Amino acid sequence: MRYFSTRSKNYIATASEAILAGIAPDGGLFVPESFPRLDFSAWSRNSYREIAEKLFALFLTDFSPTAIQRVVEKSYAANFDTPEITPLHWLDDNTAVLELWHGPTLAFKDLALQCLPNLFDEAKIIQQIEERFLILTATSGDTGKAAMSGFSGKDGSLVAVFYPNNGVSTFQERQMLTTTSTNVRAFAMEGNFDDCQRSVKALMQDVSFLARLKERSIRLTSANSINIGRLLPQMVYYIYAYLQTVDKYGDPLSVVVPSGNVGNILAARYCKEMGLPLDRIHLAANSNKVLHEFLSTGIYDANRELLKTTSPSMDILIASNMERYLHLLTGDCTYINDLMKALKTDGCFSFDASLLDLYSSWATEDQVFTTIRRVYVDYGYVLDPHTAVAVFSASDSNMSGRRLIVSTASPYKFAETVLSSLRQDFPADDKGQILQLQKILGTPLPRPIEELWSNQPEDKHYLLPAQIEAAIEELIGAN
């Protein structure tokens, strides 16, 4: 399996090359040259890890079977608190919640970012690379800590995470500022997530910056979902969940995905491209409904104010993986390059809406709060605000048949919002809120939370965009 840039067929890479590069030299994103069509019914008795091995074997063709087995064994083990890795919780006979937050940072990013460092290790062996890697990551809340957790203490890897100052939850920020490894560091940056993402992408294409790193035997890459090594692991849980959810293979199953940067829902669309019998793939947006409007009209317009919501991981206006989705629909690199140029220069572009095959809807903040309260009253189940966006979207659409709600974060990560939705009085501090939520849930605190409170967070590292390179120099110098 080879990989091409979304913007030009001139850039061809093997799986290991694409994973290590992160982004193509022309600024495009690596995509597989094809998607094999499969009858997944033969996988119905396989465990999560077995499905991961089979899927990786299809796309990581320059990795040996032994290397793939090592990646899977290291990535999905005791670092997840349940042997199912991504368990299902049924609300009713037709609605299941796919819990993607049983990893070390309590968010769905763990499913990919516990895997990506191990893919890096094997890719470096394949490519016979001994240089160190600098991994730059922009985050709207969850990717940052998941990347830091995955790469923490990894020899030869330095991780710099940039998150919008006052644009993540206090719990997410505490997670990123609490680390015991010097090779990973988080920085609060002035601006919003799109500003962080734009700065990271620009730096990854800065020829002089790359040359200075090369002089020090350091290569640059990313742990964001622009890296194909992030997307492939995300496909695993859709295959596993489908086989666990339907009564018989071939039954339709709709999936509802809370979306910001489009990577999570694109993984579902890739699975459908391979023949997984998914019915409707439904994008659930929060008040920053640029994606919903695009899917409804074909007009992508990021020229608007980014709203801060109670689902901060979705507070994004420019979704990187939209580029991969549009490439999947058209296969036209020149056209995609023109669209991305228009988005960069004008903040908008138009696309033939008749080609778009994702459904969508959006939820207001009031609807998020109401949904959290309603689901708790009706089912005794507690949602985080991102999952509440998806549950509202499922109930507000014309979706029929069995559906899968993709739950992207533990309610503990957003305790204040959850408690407010449940009309509870609660303390002002994070720890007090979490302990109060624990009483409602009636379950032991997850181990990552106990570990988090046992460590003291670092002081916040605050940056203006012009200070990014200096911050990176400091990180390199300390390691």
Q: Which residues are known catalytic residues?
A: 109
Cβ pair 400, 418 in contact under 8 A: no
Amino acid of residue 254? S
Spatial distance between the Cα atoms of 159 and 139, rounded to a whole number of angstroms: 12
Cβ pair 385, 414 in contact under 8 A: yes
SS3 content of the chain, % helix, strand, coil (to 5): 45, 15, 35
Spatial distance between the Cα atoms of 284 and 388, rounded to a whole number of angstroms: 10
The count of C-alpha atoms lying within 13 angstroms of the C-alpha of 7, restricted to the half-sphere facing its C-beta, is: 14
Nearest to 242 by CA among 39, 461, 420, 57: 39
DSSP 161-198: EEEETT-S-HHHHHHHH--S-TTEEEEEESS-HHHHHH
Task: Tell me how many degrees the CA angle 41-42-45 measures, rounded to the nearest 5.
Answer: 95
- Phi and psi torsions of 90, nearest 5°: -90, 125
Cβ pair 112, 418 in contact under 8 A: no
Cβ pair 120, 20 in contact under 8 A: yes
How many residues appear in the chain? 479
